[in-house]
Chains A and B, each alone.
Chain A
Amino acid sequence: MTISLFIPCFVDLMYPKVGISMVNIFEKLGHKVAVPKGPACCGQPAFNSGYWDESRTIATQMLESLKDADVVVIASGSCGAMMKVFYPELFAGTKYEAMARELAPKCFEFSSFLVNKLGVTDLGAKFPHKVTFHDGCHGLRELNNKRPPRELLAKVRGLELVEMTAAETCCGFGGTFSAKFPAISTAMAEVKCASAIDTKAEYIVSCDSSCLMQIQGLADKQRQPAKTIHLAEILAQS
């Protein structure tokens, strides 16, 4: 199948390895990867800030660019939720509503695409490290994605998963929230980081680079021993 892969703006700029890993994984599984020539962003920042008109300027382009796609894989639970869950709401009552509703079931977050759509859990990856997993809130609560990443991690050779107590607690990123209310956002990151470090895991893994950016950003500033890595990067290791 041809997979349309959407790499969100900040992943494109700061975490290209995440996208490259996904391309490699899909190609190894025998699929063709197409990167749509649409917008670089899903429009979530404007949407979450209350500027729905401005968000629609981007999101309509996204709808247009993906209208012929069979499946769309999104390299982030958060942007995935935006396209799958919030686009229909954003376009409710507009002429794009039908298109948004058509796109929604074709959208998958990366880990849920592998497990739920392709039925693949074992990618033959090897990663001999102790890791802990951070559930990104949008993936967890909007997309109901608790299980897939763990099933994938369970099949990685040499990997040991230790759950942290605050696995489901928000890391405090929240998009523009992190800059609007930095004190609260930082406190939340501290809680998250402390819980992850408590597990003595070598890596904090997640399906969301934005959460990892927040966690790593704090850990580096405070010289805490935390290393973060996206799930796709682990699954691409052989």
Chain B
Amino acid sequence: MTAPAAQFTLDARRVAPDTRHRGIIQTAMGKYEVVRDQRKLWFQDWQGARNLAARTKFAAVNQLDTHLAEFAKNLEARGTKIHWASNAEQARSIILGILKAKNAKVVVKSKAMTSEEIHLNDAMETAGCEVVESDLGEYIVQLRQEPPYHLVFPAMHLTRGEIQKTFQDKLLDAPTDNPEDLTMVARRVLRQKYIQADVGITGANFAIAETGMISITENEGNARLTAALPKTMITLVGIEKVLPRLADLALFLPMLAVMGTGQALTCYNTLYGGPRQPGEADGPEEYHVVLLDNQRTTLLADAEQRDALGCIRCGACLNVCPIFRNVGGHTYGTVYGGPIGSVITPHLRGLQDWKHLSFASSLCGACTETCPVKIDLHHHLLQNRRNAFAPATGKPSWWQKTAFKLFAPVANSPALWSLTTKLGRFGQIFHGLVKGSALDPAQAWTKTREVAPIAKQSFREWMKERES
């Protein structure tokens, strides 16, 4: 077993039976499901909207090269500096280079999963900068030195009491566990940071090729302050975020809001088109956009799974996933958790090290059913499994291969099947002696579940008797 697989198994074993954790997530998700379903009804034709979104995204991904060139050209025309980063290392050094040139001491950030992906905070801190997350959820997990738990709700695993305690320990200020009071505490701290910050770093929800604009959707106004107050702004964006037309946002912004948080639209939807232009009152003096590949082109080259690049990171597949809901976001050990993470992590970080995530699924398909851009998530998990073990693309495990090789002739031959039925009945007598114990070869099942006995007469035996 690879190290990430061993860690996953260990963490899953700890978290899955934890009914307290399960309860927190179920309650949060219960509320989300109600509003999500109400808002979905506001669409005249939700399935039609999904089809259109899937088509638009897929077409955009298939013409990534032209859209990206257009996007870059349009942004550059208004004085934005575009940087192309092939991998995490390059992206980090581009950003660290800008920080150094600006002699930056304090960096304020709005939510960006891409920055988690390239481990940007660590790199900036090592370079001597103070880094502050300005999204409330991100700020809370940053104070706790934890990675975000969920793509959209970074701190959803925490209770109010735990957040109060975190604030008390780290900020020495937490009068009550009332969410409004706690928000006011964070706000006081963060307002100071926006003013002190030399550089603001954001992520992006969409990149509009037609106009050369970055679209950011948020609820706290923190991304706006991150963009508006520091003199230098940097946006780190995955190359797959590109949409051809400004009008596409009319579909994607409400769709992302509905599936992400169950809102009709999030509170602040802003387009960033460049640094402060002559005559403008605010905005950064310098604007850098870093376009990140980091294996996205590898996924693009996979004709079967390319649609996964259409992901708008709404988190809806995580929310409905029974695996996610039981093992929680941290167990995945990846930046992108849940079904979409299980699909793309093997592409981003290596199939052999991350294939276990594709196996940690009952293939129930709830993710695929819910995904607003119709990514064929659970079938991609099947393809990852095949690619992991097929002789041409992966490494078969000899014992599994042997087991399936031995099973095939038994299943194929009525005589051998009938013999197996009888042997099974016989073996069952002895199974009772070890059932559920460490000696039980079926312990993985029997420790928590009873086994159904083999019937006195199997169906095939009944049929045979009947025919004779």
Taking A138-B363, A180-B360, A191-B326 as known contacts, 14 extra A-B pairs with beta carbons closer than 8 A to each other, sorted by chain A number, are A18-B459, A19-B463, A20-B459, A40-B417, A46-B407, A50-B394, A52-B386, A58-B408, A174-B363, A177-B362, A178-B445, A179-B445, A182-B447, A186-B449
Q: Is there an interface contact between B448 and A11, defined as CB atoms closer than 8 Å? A: no
- Find the B residue at minimum CB distance from A174: B362
CB neighbors of A among B379-420 (8 A): 382, 385-391, 394, 396, 400-401, 404-405, 407-408, 410-412, 414, 417
Known contacts: A48-B385, A49-B404. The answer to whether A9 contacts B411 by CB under 8 A is yes
Residue of A nearest to B421 (CB): A13
Cβ B444 vs Cβ A182 within 8 A: yes
Chain B interface residue count, Cβ-Cβ cutoff 8 angstroms: 64
Q: Are A183 and B13 closer than 8 Å at their CB atoms?
A: yes
Interface residues in A205-220 (C-beta closer than 8 Å to B): 213-214, 216-218, 220
Q: How far is the CA of A213 from the CA of B386 in the complex (A)?
A: 27
User: Which of A104-112, A150-158, A165-173 contacts the other chain?
Assistant: A165-173
Whether B326 lies near A187 (C-beta < 8 A) is yes
Shortest C-beta distance, B248 to chain A (Å), equals 28
Give every chain A residue within 8 A of B369 (Cβ-Cβ): 141
Most buried by B among A12, A37, A55, A218: A12
- Residue A41 interfacial (CB < 8 Å): yes
Bound-state CA distance A187–B16 (Å) is: 6
Q: A39-B412, A141-B369 are in contact. Are A184 and B360 (CB under 8 A)?
A: yes
Interface bracket on A: 35 or more
Report the Cα distance A47→B386, complex, angstroms: 8
- Given that A12-B458, A181-B12 are contacting pairs, would A172 and B404 also be in contact in the complex, using a CB cutoff of 8 Å? no
For the complex, give the distance between the alpha carbons of A220 and B449 in Å. Answer: 7
Partner of A49 from B325, B385, B449 at Cβ < 8 Å: B385
Contact between B17 and A187, CB atoms less than 8 A apart? yes
Q: Please state if B404 and A170 are interface contacts (CB–CB under 8 Å).
A: no
CB-based contact A57/B408 at 8 Å: yes
**Measured CA separation A12–B461 after assembly (Å):** 9
CB of A102 within 8 A of chain B? no
Residues of B within 8 A of A52 (CB): 386, 390
Q: Are B452 and A14 in contact (CB under 8 A)?
A: yes
Q: Is the CB of A188 within 8 A of B362?
A: yes
CA gap between A58 and B365 in the complex, in Å:
25
Task: Give every chain A residue within 8 A of B390 (Cβ-Cβ).
Answer: 50, 52-53
Of all A-B residue pairs in the complex, the 10 with the closest CB atoms, nearest first, are A174-B362, A217-B449, A170-B364, A50-B385, A50-B389, A54-B404, A19-B459, A137-B364, A141-B365, A16-B459
Report the minimal beta-carbon distance from B15 to chain A, rounded to whole angstroms. Answer: 8
Chain B residues with CB under 8 Å of A26's CB are none
The reply on B322 being an interface residue by CB < 8 A is yes
List 29 A-B pairs, Cβ < 8 Å. A9-B411, A12-B459, A12-B460, A13-B455, A13-B458, A14-B454, A14-B455, A19-B459, A20-B459, A23-B463, A39-B412, A40-B460, A47-B382, A48-B363, A49-B385, A49-B389, A50-B386, A52-B390, A141-B368, A169-B366, A172-B322, A177-B360, A179-B444, A183-B16, A184-B327, A186-B16, A213-B452, A217-B449, A217-B450
Closest CB in chain A relative to B392 CB, distance in Å? 10
Q: Which of B319-359 contact A (CB under 8 A)?
A: 322-323, 325-327, 359
Instruction: Tell me the complex Cα distance, A38–B411, Å.
Output: 9
For residue B83, CB closer than 8 A to chain A, the reply is no
Q: Which of B9, B22, B412 contacts A187 (CB 8 A)?
A: B22
Query: A46-B404, A52-B390 are known contacts. Are A184 and B368 too (CB-CB below 8 A)?
Result: no
Bound state CA distance, A140 and B462, in angstroms?
A: 30
In chain B between 435 and 466, which residues have their CB closer than 8 angstroms to a CB of chain A?
442, 444-445, 447-455, 457-463
